[in-house]
Amino acid sequence: MTVTRRTATIGGLSLLAGSSFSTLSRAEWGDLNLGEGLEDFWLATDAYVYGYPLVTMEMTRRIVTNVARPEGTKAPMGQLIKLREYPNASFRDVTAPNADTLYTTAFLDVGNEPWVLSIPDMKDRYFLFPMLDGWTTVFQAPGKRTTGTGAQIYAITGPDWNGVLPQGVREYKSPTNIVWILGRIYCTGTPEDYKAVHELQDQCKLAPLSSYGKTYTPPEGKIDPSIDTKTAVRDQVNRMDAKGYFTLLAQLMKANPPAEADGPAVARFARIGLVPGQDFDASKLNADFAKRIPEVAFDRIMAQFKLNSEVKDVNGWGFTTKTGIYGTDYLMRALVTAIGLGANRPRDAVYPTSLKDDENRSYDGANKYVMHFPKGHLPPVSGFWSLTMYDDKYFFVSNPLNRYSISARQNLKANPDGSTDLFIQTESPGPDKESNWLPAPAGKFVLMLRMYWPNEGTPSILNGSWKIPAVTMQST
């Protein structure tokens, strides 16, 4: 087995995969020399995979909210984070950043009372405010596709809340107390459009229901100095030992209950001491094999890159249309968490990614490439599309144009026959082609095609009736 927690690469949202527990070949890991209790060991790895999204969401919440007031990419619980500009080539906070939308996000605890989110009239501008529960399922996705662009007000309620809401406030019931709002507002990146989107962000409001309709000033957040805000979330989760991991998972499951459909799977976990609503009983976890559980379980998650048929490879582009809503596909859910936390429903966004050209050669800035779209074959979307350039670590690439992605907003020039060529290379293809130029680094790079609100009829990437063109290296 070559994929481990140490060697697995964060591949972006397009490289996702998953399967049910029953389809994974445990023989891939060979003889673990665990002696008696082998079935309990595999049951424990099942439980680890099952809980991975909830534990990761909690660790993310702790880091993002561990500030006194909003600053940069962080804000206290119940307060909006408003990113004001696209990242540049020096940005290293997260991999695979985008240069298409400005984020407006928040973490909520809806256990005590509902929280009210007010979204202004977006004036026909594309926006999307998906809401994730603690298990990373997108339980609601207000936005241009689903709710239109007029002003709207939502009360996000907890799983046990029952009450009456003010007139004009629509209820969105969360399956869990933890809620993550991941709002995105489309922006062209010009100074004028930045200003317009900032005004929309500032009109977005968030308040507890008890303060709705009143002047509300959020309290300062409490900083916990024991929280590690420097180490990546995935690394923090992966280094937890089995006892600590399951202890935290059991605590989180009290306020964030499993779905009804999870009943059969969760019932099995009682055998290793994990019961919803109760503290973890570590005495039922075999100490002889506990130290192996996290590593093997994470290997199982990452192995889904190759094991799952839902990962499509079309002309060198890898992607899946199984994100945001997972049902009982726990390995898929865990893998999306590991490499693309916050993934949208496929009807809202698909993210094909390519590491190699049409001849299966890794991209390299020493070469010149073309992505050719026949007439009428540009990405079919109702929202927007863009092709983003990353270096081999999934960060933006410094270039003379400060252009990190290319899309229709560059006023692409069509060929005489109506087709469109995108030029992917280090040096400018010339003034007459520069509108269609996506600058590349000198070394290895990765391409990601973002398709927001992909067509659902024909042609469509969702049903395979539209296929992504291959990227071709040009002869010198």
Q: Is residue 263 part of a domain?
A: yes
Q: At a CB cut-off of 8 Å and minimum separation 6, what does 379 contact?
A: 385, 449, 451, 454, 461, 466, 468
Rounded to an integer, what distance in angstroms lies between the CA atom of residue 116 and that of residue 157? 9
Predicted local distance difference test score (pLDDT) of residue 475: 84
**CATH number for the domain that contains residue 123:** 2.60.40.1610
CATH code for the domain of 459: 2.60.120.600
The verdict on 419 and 355 lying in the same domain is yes
pLDDT at 18: 27
Rounded Cα gap, residues 299 and 303, in angstroms: 6
Does residue 187 belong to any structural domain of this protein? yes
Q: Tell me the residue range of the domain where 47 lies.
A: 27-66+227-297
CA distance 27 to 446: 33
Q: Are residues 250 and 200 in the same domain?
A: no
pLDDT at 17: 26
Q: How many domains does the chain have?
A: 3
Note whether 154 and 275 are same-domain residues.
no
Given 159, 180, 211, which residue is the final one in a domain? 211
Domain co-membership, 98 together with 168: yes
Asked if 17 and 265 count as a contact pair (C-beta separation under 8 A), the reply is no
Same domain, 113 and 60: no
- pLDDT for position 360: 95
391 and 427 fall within a common domain: yes
Whether 19 maps to a domain, the answer reads: no
Alpha helix locations (H) across 320-403?
Answer: 330-340
Model-level pTM?
0.89
Mean pLDDT by 10 residues, the chain (476 residues): 28 31 44 66 97 97 97 96 93 83 97 97 98 98 98 97 96 98 96 98 98 96 95 91 98 96 97 97 92 95 80 90 94 88 95 94 97 97 97 92 94 97 97 97 96 96 96 90
Terminal Cα distance for the chain, rounded: 40
Residues whose CB is less than 8 angstroms from the CB of residue 108 and which lie 6 or more positions away in sequence, other chains included: 77, 78, 115, 156, 178, 179, 180, 181, 206
